[in-house]
Structure 1
Amino acid sequence: MTLNIIKRTAICLSLLAAFSCTDNFDEMNQNPVGATTPDLEQNFNNIKSLIKPAFTRLYISDVTWQYQLQQSLQADGWSGYMTTPNEFGGINNHNYNLNQNWNGYAWDDAYVNIIANLFKIEQRAKGKYDQFYSWSLIIKVATMQRITDMYGPAVYSKFGGDGLATYDSQEQIYTQMFKDLDFAVTDLTARVADGEVSKFTETDQSNYGGSYSQWVKYANSLRLRLAMRISKVNPSLAKTEAEKAVNHSIGVFKLNADVLKIKSPLDLNVIDVMSHAWVGLFMGADMESILGGYQDPRMAKYWEPSVQVAGEYKGVRTGIVYPTPSTYANFSQTGARTKTGEVTWMSTAEVYFLRAEGALRGWNMDGVAKDLYEAGIRASFEQNGVEGAAAYIADNVKVAKDYVDPINPVNNSPAVSKVTVAWGATNEINLEKIITQKWIATYPDGQEAWSEFRRTGYPKLFRITNNKSGGVISTALGVRRLPFPLSEATNNPKGVESGVAVLGGPDNGATRLWWDVDKANF
């Protein structure tokens, strides 16, 4: 697989630059045909232009090499979903020899193309056009949840201030994200109750069409995700926030019509391009083991049968020795799910699985754990257009299958995931089932799957065999975070220093995040 990195101008890659590159926006954005600032403000054009980039940059959906650096070369592999069997000269995240020239891209892109713009919206809309400020807060939280769950401490409360920006701890970021969602949900809920006509319609590039109530549902569902993430490190706050989300008057996702999707402006899917046009992204061995063992009908939606092993779905183990980039080039490539040109920000199935885990923990999730778990499976089947959910849910026999590498038997491994689909007898077994099914349903969002794997240890995944971290990253535990970007070390060294001070360990891929605590799930 070719690593398609285009040379970029070294402009606006630090946080300081991200702010300074937008602080003369008014002057740069004067309409040459004579529209005045009040004219622009009357139509909200001075705000709408700033929110639009988020729809394609949160999960980069329009430039393949940029998505590759944002997520494909990190979480998509560490989640067990898919892999790129090419060591790129031996410096490769999948063998834990972390490549810092890749790993800062997600941070740089988020701050330059999303957070800097949302900061401008705060300046222009807060207290004046609070519906837009509220919308920007929801997108800010969605963006920063991904960034903090990759890196840990980050710039949140100090963004846009004077001088170089200091970092908040991850605990502080989560606390502020909950507060930002409070403001947004309260404001937009009131507007729904008042029957206000949406001001978002012309700008909203999602399938929501500007609906205030749908964005509130998303904000509540996002709150539920955040609450579950901190369930082991701050269980009391997690319970409070989760129940606040589920029991809100508008509530969380319950129908597949609630799924938040963004259509690529180019009607392409970057994952499909990497897999087919570049011939360098293939199904992970964990996908083959788990979906194959369950005889899961979603397999045919997610993947194509292998050409090399005719008629079979064949995955590649992550982090092994790859003899050549073409050795596994005829294993299973991505299927119909990643040919739609749509990117899913959050699914209804995920929300049901979050509620199922909450109920398992004794929280008020408006339902019992077993029923919510099974509803999550049904929602995923429906979303993917497959049948047979009832028989699948009842199956208490099938388990993940052993992995066999037809090219090099040294990569063979017994299955590591042993749970069946049918609801079990203990909390720990049922948690493993919930997270395993959430892992299946959340595909292809490897970032979210990697985060849940770090939090819970599920689903159980194959370990890599070619660890090149020099003893820094444990083969048993895997990568726990991304180191702070090189751009920050160059342009904001005091910021990095402040981040390391609240990180809780060295700035490397082995240090656990705040919510990634070494303790039992229950």
Structure 2
Amino acid sequence: MNKLIKYTLTSIVAVSFLNCTGDFESINTDPNGISNESLTQMNNHIGGSFTPMFLNVFNVTPAWNYQLQQNLMGDVYSGYMTPPTPFAGNVNNMTYSLMDGWNGFPWSDAYENVMPFVLDVKNAVAVGGDESGVKFVHLANIIRVSAMHRVSDIYGPIRYTKFDDFATTGEYDSQKVAYNAFFNELGDAIDGLAAYENDTQFIPFDMSSLGGDIALWRKYANSLRLRLAMRIVNVDPVLSKTQGELSLNSNAGLLETIDMKINTGFSHPIATISGSWGDIRMSAEMESILSGFKDNRIEKYFNPAEDASLAGAYKGIRMGIAIEAKGQYVGHSSIGSVVDGETMQWMTAAEIWFLRAEAALRGWSNAGDAKSNYEAGIRASFTQHNVAGIDAYLADNTSTPKDFVDALNPANNIAYPSTIKIAFNSNGTNEEKLEQIITQKWIAMFPDGQEAWSEFRRTGYPKIFPVVINNSGGTIDTNIQIRRINFVQNEKNTNNANVTKAITLLNGSDNGGTRLWWDVSGSNF
């Protein structure tokens, strides 16, 4: 917490310096004050703007903000978690009655606490006149892409390339334009930071596990480029392969041995949402897959059910079912020690190995061998969570996900629609191999439900159970499932002309049933 206080005070000083409009003379002559010259020498006029960015790619406090930014959206639509709470009389996001009052938080967190501070960094560097300050611009852009690709993957078109100009800040980019901008900014950062790998000036401001190491930030940016390259593989395979091979062949390398986490100084919000409030529990899909696979990670991800009738089993809840009262299912499995501590996961080393495995399936240069990468990804995840039994797990060619049985209502029972196994099927089709890769990637990325939801929409894997109750009024197909979130109501109220134009950039109507640009139906190959 002392570290967080230091960051917060630095941020306050920096933002005050950047935004203050008066009384400069008295401040600059106060012998007990901090002069502009001192701020510049310490880079606090730049570095302090990173704090709100780090704390809002995932909003970490208050916990209810994270609940609306991530938990009652990506975390549930990914098949990771399900609330036992029948919010709004059970007519809510889980039953496809999309809640405008909830669903604006990913947008507002980004546009109030990330995008403006990136602009502050750019302006401070420009005013300072120190050419080496460009490294801070590159770092800010990496964080901006980290945040804004998530926002785009929720809504589609976003305000991005024209944001920095007051005259055009309200205008939207299509998702295609935004993704091209992401690639350009990441490429510039990867190349531009190469000259600063021994620079230490970012260390005081870096709240991540990378510790201000510019070489590691290049790896992260390159890994993020690989993630986004794979995201668009079904809609633009040429650009996807080009960007993917740039990553795979870059001298920056990839985050294959280190997880990207943010040291926030706050308890993980899911620990509060699950432990203190009892508002989120294990999903039916997690129960089916982890229990069926006899996967030891279940003990880190979840706690045994507290309901005495379940005899200490790991028990999940199917999303979109009839829930009359919280007391019915609240005794099911809460979220486990994976959310203990004060860190927020942005990317895991395991994810990189699974990206490499898929790249190998697609024949991308320098991707390596699909089976070896697949197994390396599982090993990395087991290592991350300090779980034993990896060798037996990798050799298991019989276990499959189990059918889901609702503890209270047999009407919610459902067979798992796949016989996928753990041991890599070298003789399978590419589609069969991809299901294995994405299913294990899904397990390994927990608890980042937003990224898992995006990958489910892109690939169709793993198999997510359809809702039982669909209150969308026909806008969301029960079997195809939810594909996006409609544009933010506040934007419609204050920026309506540009939102109206943005709707024309979609592949359909502004509702949850419309696929995003990269979300293409059909085969993955």
TM range (shorter): over 0.9
Please list, as runs of the form range in 1=range in 2, the aligned pairs for 1:182-201 lying within 5 A after superposition: 182-192=187-197, 196-201=198-203
| Aligned twin of 1:453 | 456
Which stretch of the first structure deviates more once superposed, 338-347 or 451-460? 338-347
For 2:471, which of 468, 471, 489 is the aligned residue?
A: 468
**Which residue identity lines up with residue 185 of structure 1 in the other structure?**
I
1:145 aligns with 2:149: yes
Question: What letter is aligned with 2:98?
Answer: L
* The one of 181, 190, 193 aligned to 1:176: 181
Deviations 1:26-57 (A, max 9, x none): 43796575434343222211111111111111
Correspondence 1:316-395 to 2 at 5 A: 316-395=317-396
* Map of 1:5 onto structure 2: none
Cα contact 1:153–1:499 (8 A) shared by 2: yes
Q: Secondary structure at the match of 1:334?
A: coil
Q: Aligned residue pairs: how many?
A: 496
Which secondary structure does the structure 2 equivalent of 1:262 belong to?
strand
Corresponding residue number in structure 2 for 1:162? 166
**Equivalent residue number for residue 251 of structure 1:** 253
Q: Deviations over 1:133-183 (max 9, x none)?
A: 110010011011101001100001110323451100000000011000111
Aligned to 1:480: 483
> Quick one: which of 185, 194, 211 aligns to 2:213?
211
Q: What pairs with 1:271-290 in structure 2 (closer than 5 Å)?
A: 271-290=270-289
**166-175 or 86-95, larger mean C-alpha shift:** 86-95
Aligned to 2:97: 97
Amino acid at match of 1:94: M
Alignment match, 2:21:
27
CA distance in 2, matches of 1:366, 1:451: 22
In structure 2, the residue matched to 1:3 is none
CA distance in 1, matches of 2:499, 2:335: 38
Q: TM-score, normalised by structure 2?
A: 0.92
Cα deviation for residue 306 of structure 1 reads 0.8
| Pairing 1:51-66 to 2, within 5 Å after superposition | 51-66=50-65
Pick closer, same or farther for the CA change 1:496–1:29 going to 2, 3 Å: farther
* Aligned counterpart, 2:237: 235
Which residue identity lines up with residue 191 of structure 1 in the other structure?
Y
Q: Kindly indicate whether residue 76 of structure 2 is the aligned counterpart of residue 73 of structure 1.
A: no
Q: Unpaired runs of 5+ in structure 1?
A: 1-20
Distance 2:192 2:295 in 1: 42
* 1:499 pairs with 2:502: yes
SS in 2 for 1:344: strand
8 Å CA contact 2:359–2:367 kept in 1: the answer is: no
| Distance in structure 1 (CA, Å) of the matches to 2:283 and 2:19 | 44
- The answer to whether residue 439 in structure 2 is matched with residue 436 in structure 1 is yes
1:302 is matched with which residue?
Answer: 301
- 1:280 aligned counterpart, secondary structure: coil
Cα distance in 1, alignment partners of residues 462 and 201 from structure 2 = 42
Distance 1:40 1:23, change over 3 A: closer
1:477 alignment partner AA? I
Give the superposition deviation at 1:59: 1.1
CA contact 1:263–1:342 (8 Å) conserved in 2 = yes
Secondary structure of 1:503's partner? coil
Q: Secondary structure at the match of 1:261?
A: strand
Q: Distance in 2 between matches of 1:218 and 1:162?
A: 31
Deviation track 1:249-287 (CA, whole Å, cap 9, x = no partner) reads 1210121xx211112312x11101111110121000000
The one-letter code matched in structure 1 to 2:255 is F
Cα separation, partners in 2 of 1:29 and 1:59, compared to 1, 3 Å: farther
Conserved 8 A contact 2:207-2:264: no
Contact 2:357 2:367 survives alignment (8 Å): no
Give the Cα–Cα distance (whole angstroms) in 2 for the partners of residues 337 and 170 of structure 1: 33
What are the superposed Cα offsets for residues 299-333 of structure 1, whole Å, 9 maximum, x if unpaired?
Answer: 00100111221121000000000121111010001
Instruction: Give the distance between the partners of 1:379 and 1:493, measured in 2 at CA.
Output: 46
Confirm or deny: 8 A CA contact 1:166 1:494 kept in the other structure: no
Answer yes or no: is the 8 Å Cα contact 1:22–1:117 preserved in 2. Answer: no
Q: What is the DSSP-based 3-state SS (H/G/I as helix, E as strand, rest coil) of the residue aligned with 1:156?
A: coil
Structure 1 residue 223, shift from structure 2 partner: 0.3
C-alpha displacement of 1:91:
3.2
Q: Distance in 2 between matches of 1:29 and 1:272?
A: 44
Asked if residue 514 in structure 1 is aligned to residue 514 in structure 2, the reply is no
**How far apart are the structure 1 equivalents of 2:55 and 2:503?**
31
